[in-house]
């Protein structure tokens, strides 16, 4: 039987780290593109830490349903404006997962400080929810970072792989982007995604926690 209080508590300590993770992820893409010569995201007002500028309602609902996967509205990038046309897209793509790995490390350090210094005991009402948020921040950022590194377009891993392929292969690979979301959806629905990324997620969680 479902306990509504437990569900609401789970949602409350999951949403904050999720909003932070996807916001930093997308803003990192935008700033990487900006420093490489593309002002598209900046001109559209997307280089902001306001999560409501990045949240995708379906991505949020997907997170609440799966308790693991979710997404935000992609940052617009005009790759033709990048100074480095060959590897610029890879740098922009990698900025997102990199920011998530950095957030996961920072969250893990803070969580260990909470544990080692028994911070929760000082004020359980305030610090216990924060400790749960830090734990979920580690988990969500690891999942988001690794999931996006899967080499399927339009995921960041696919964009990185495309940048390093010879032109003809990169062009053929780009034609598969229209089927990318369908492929990802099939992997998630069938559970195949678990065998692809769960072992890596577990490894990172053990290392950090």
Catalytic positions, written as ranges: 26
Contacts of 113 (CB under 8 A, 6+ apart): 119
Chain-centre distance of CA 92, in angstroms? 14
Whether the Cβ atoms of residue 27 and residue 75 lie closer than 8 Å to each other: yes
Contacts of 20 (CB under 8 A, 6+ apart): 51, 103, 137
Helix (H, G, I), strand (E, B) or coil at 70: coil
Q: What are phi and psi of 35, to 5 degrees?
A: -70, -20
Instruction: Classify the phi-psi angles of 153: left when phi > 0, otherwise alpha if psi is within -120 to 50, otherwise beta.
Output: beta
Whether the Cβ atoms of residue 22 and residue 55 lie closer than 8 Å to each other: yes
């Amino acid at each position: 039987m479902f306990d509504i209080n437990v569900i609401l508590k789970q949602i409350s300590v999951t949403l904050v780290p999720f909003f932070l993770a996807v916001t930093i992820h997308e803003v990192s893409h935008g700033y990487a593109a900006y420093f490489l010569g593309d002002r598209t995201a900046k001109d559209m007002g997307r280089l902001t830490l306001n999560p409501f500028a990045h949240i995708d309602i379906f991505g949020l609902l997907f997170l609440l349903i799966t308790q693991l996967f979710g997404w935000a509205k992609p940052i617009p990038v005009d790759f033709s404006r990048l100074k480095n046309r060959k590897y610029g897209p890879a740098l922009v793509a990698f900025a997102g997962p990199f920011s998530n790995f950095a957030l996961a490390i920072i969250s893990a350090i803070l969580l260990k400080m909470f544990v080692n210094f028994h911070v929760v005991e000082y004020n359980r009402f305030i610090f216990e929810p924060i400790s749960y948020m830090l734990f979920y921040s580690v988990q969500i950022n690891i999942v988001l970072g690794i999931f996006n590194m899967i080499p399927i377009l339009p995921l960041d891993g696919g964009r990185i792989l495309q940048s390093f392929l010879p032109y003809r292969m990169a062009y053929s690979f780009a034609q598969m982007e229209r089927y990318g979301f369908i492929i990802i959806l099939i992997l998630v629905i069938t559970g195949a995604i678990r065998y692809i990324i769960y072992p890596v997620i577990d490894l990172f969680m053990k290392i950090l926690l």
